[in-house]
Structure 1
Amino acid sequence: MSSYTQAFAWLFSAANWSGPGGIPTRLLQHLGYSGLTLLIAVVIAIPIGLYIGHTGRGRSVVVPFTGALRALPTLGLVIILALWLGIGLTPPLIALVILAIPPLLAGAYAGIEAVDRETVDAARSIGFTGWGVLWQVEVPLALPLIVGGIRSACLQVVATWTVAAYLPLGGLGRFLYDGLPIRDYAEMLGGSILVIVLALVLDGVFALAQRGVTPRGVIAGRITDIRTTTQSPDRKERSWLAPEA
C-alpha cells in the first residue's frame, strides 16, 4: 500500500474524527490560533499602513524595518521566545504576529498609495476633509490590495502554525509531531494534506472577498465598447459614446 493510500485511509478513518485529538478538534484549534494571530496583526499593521499611505510619513523607516522582519527565521524566533517566556501560546503567537505584519502593512500602504492622486485632489476640491478622503475615497479604492495583504498573511500564518505546534500546542501540526517519533507516516502525510486543503480553502475565500471589494471600474481595467453594430461608412466618424438616433 502506497503512502498516499495509507494517508487517505487515515484521513477517512472514523477513529480519527472523534476525541480531543481528532481532526475536527485539531482543525478548530488551528483556525483559532490562526484567527487570533491574524486579528492582532491586522489591528497593529492596518492603521499604520493607512497612516503611511495617506500622509507619506514614516515610509522610509517602516518599510525597510518590515522588510527585515520577513527575513527572521520564524521557528528560531519561536524557540528564543519560548526559552524567554516559557512554553505556551504566547511565544508562537508573538512570533506569528511578527510574521504576519509585513504583508498586511505592505498591502495597506501600497493600496492607499496606488489611488490616483487626481481622484484625491478632486475629493479635496469638493470639500472632503482629510479623514473623509481617507475613508470615503482612498480606503474603498485600496480595499483590493488591503484584502490581498490579509490573504497573503493568512496563508503564511496557517502554514507556520503547523511548525509552531512543536512547543507543544494543538492544531494540525500535532499530527506531524506526534507521528514522527513512532514513524506513523500516514498520520504525518494526512496532517500535511489537511493543512494544504485548509490553506487552499482560505485562499479561495479571500480571493472571492478580494474580488467582491474591487470596484467595477478597477475590475474592468479599461473602458470597452460593448456595442456590436454594423455601421455604414458615413457613420464611422460618429463617437461610440454618442447615443443612437
Structure 2
Amino acid sequence: MTADTLTLGGRAEAPTRTTSGLRQVVTPVAIVAALVALYAWVSTLELDSIEQRSLNREVIVAKAIEHIQMTVAATVLVVVIAIPLGIVASRSKNRFITPIILTGGNLGQAVPAIGLLVLATFIMGVGFQTALLGLVAYAILPVLRNTMVGVQQIDPTLIEAARGMGMTKGQVLRRVELKLAVPTILAGLRTALVLTVGMATLGAFVAAGGFGELIINGLKLNRMPVTIVGGVLTACLAFFIDWLGALAESLLKPKGI
C-alpha cells in the first residue's frame, strides 16, 4: 500500500514539475521572439521624422530605464510598507486595527489610478515622486493581503513547538512564521510587480517618463508604430518580470514545502 501511494504521489507531482520547468523555458523564448518580430516589423517601415525621433535606440533605452526605475522603486516601498502592516494585521490581538489596515490597502485599487495621480499633482506637482505615490497605492494590496494569509495559515502547533524550544516572539516570527509564509508573500509580490509594470505607463501623464510616453505620443500624433512599440515593450517587460517572479518563488521556497 505504501509503495503504491508513493508511486501515485510521484506520478501526480511529475506533471506539475514538468509544466513549471516548461514555462520557465517557454516564457523567455516567447519574449525574445516577440521583440525580434517587433524589430523586424519596424525595420520594414518607412518612418517619418517624428517616428524616427521616438523609435531610436537612445530613446527606447531611456524609456526602459525610467519604466524599470519606477517599477523597482515602487516595489521596494510596497515591500517595506505592506509586509510589516500585513504582520500587524495578522495578529488576533490587533483585530480592531485590521479593518483599518485593509481599508487603506483597498482604497488604492478602489480609486482610479489616473484620478489618484491627478489629485497627487495638486499636492506634489508632476514628476517621479507623484507617479511613485500612485504605483505604491495601487500595488500594496496583493502583498498586504498575502502576508496576512501566509502568516495566519501557519499551523499553531508549529508556533507552540518553537516557543517550547525557547524562542522569543521575534525569533518565532523570523525563523518560523515568515519563513513558512514566504511562498504566499512572494506570490503577492509577483502580482504587485506585474500590476506595477502596467500601471507605470500612466507615469507619462505626470511627466515621469517610461514606455507610457511612447504610447501617449503615438496616440496624440496619430503614429501607430510608436504606440504599438510602446505597448509591446510594456507587455514584454511585464511578462519578463512575471517570469523572474516565478523563478524567485521556486528558488526562495523553503525546502519541504
Shorter-chain TM-score tier: 0.7 to 0.9
Q: Which amino acid aligns with 2:85?
A: I
**1:95: how far off?**
1.4
Q: 1:8 to 1:107 in 2, by over 3 A?
A: farther
**1:172: how far off?**
0.8
Equivalent residue number for residue 105 of structure 1: 144
Q: Which amino acid aligns with 2:252?
A: V
Q: 1:12 to 1:163 in 2, by over 3 A?
A: farther
- Pick one of 79, 86, 89 that aligns with 2:128: 89
Contact 1:7 1:186 survives alignment (8 Å): no
**How does 1:166-205 map onto structure 2 within 5 Å?**
166-205=205-244
**1:103: how far off?**
1.2
Once the two structures are overlaid, the 10-residue window that deviates more, 178-187 or 200-209, is 178-187
Paired with 2:38 and 2:100, the residues of 1 have a C-alpha distance of 51
Equivalent residue number for residue 84 of structure 2: 47
Paired with 2:211 and 2:186, the residues of 1 have a C-alpha distance of 25
Q: 1:181 to 1:141 in 2, by over 3 A?
A: same
Runs of at least 4 residues of structure 1 off by over 6 A? none
Paired with 1:25 and 1:73, the residues of 2 have a C-alpha distance of 28
- Pick one of 168, 193, 197 that aligns with 1:129: 168
Equivalent residue number for residue 73 of structure 2: 36
Deviations 1:140-191, CA, capped at 9 Å, x for gaps? 1000111111111111111001022122231111111111122111110111
Number of residue-to-residue matches in the alignment: 212
**1:85: how far off?**
2.4
- 1:158 and 2:197 equivalent? yes
Paired with 2:240 and 2:80, the residues of 1 have a C-alpha distance of 24
Once the two structures are overlaid, the 10-residue window that deviates more, 117-126 or 209-218, is 209-218
Q: Which amino acid aligns with 1:49?
A: G
**1:213: how far off?**
2.1
Equivalent residue number for residue 23 of structure 2: none
Paired with 1:12 and 1:213, the residues of 2 have a C-alpha distance of 44
Contact 2:108 2:139 survives alignment (8 Å): no
Where structure 2 has 5 or more consecutive residues not aligned to the other structure, the ranges are: 1-36, 46-51
Q: Which has the higher helix share?
A: 2
Paired with 1:217 and 1:56, the residues of 2 have a C-alpha distance of 30
Contact 2:150 2:182 survives alignment (8 Å): yes
**1:18: how far off?**
2.5
- Pick one of 106, 110, 115 that aligns with 1:76: 115
Where structure 1 has 5 or more consecutive residues not aligned to the other structure, the ranges are: 219-245
- Percent identity, aligned pairs only, is 27
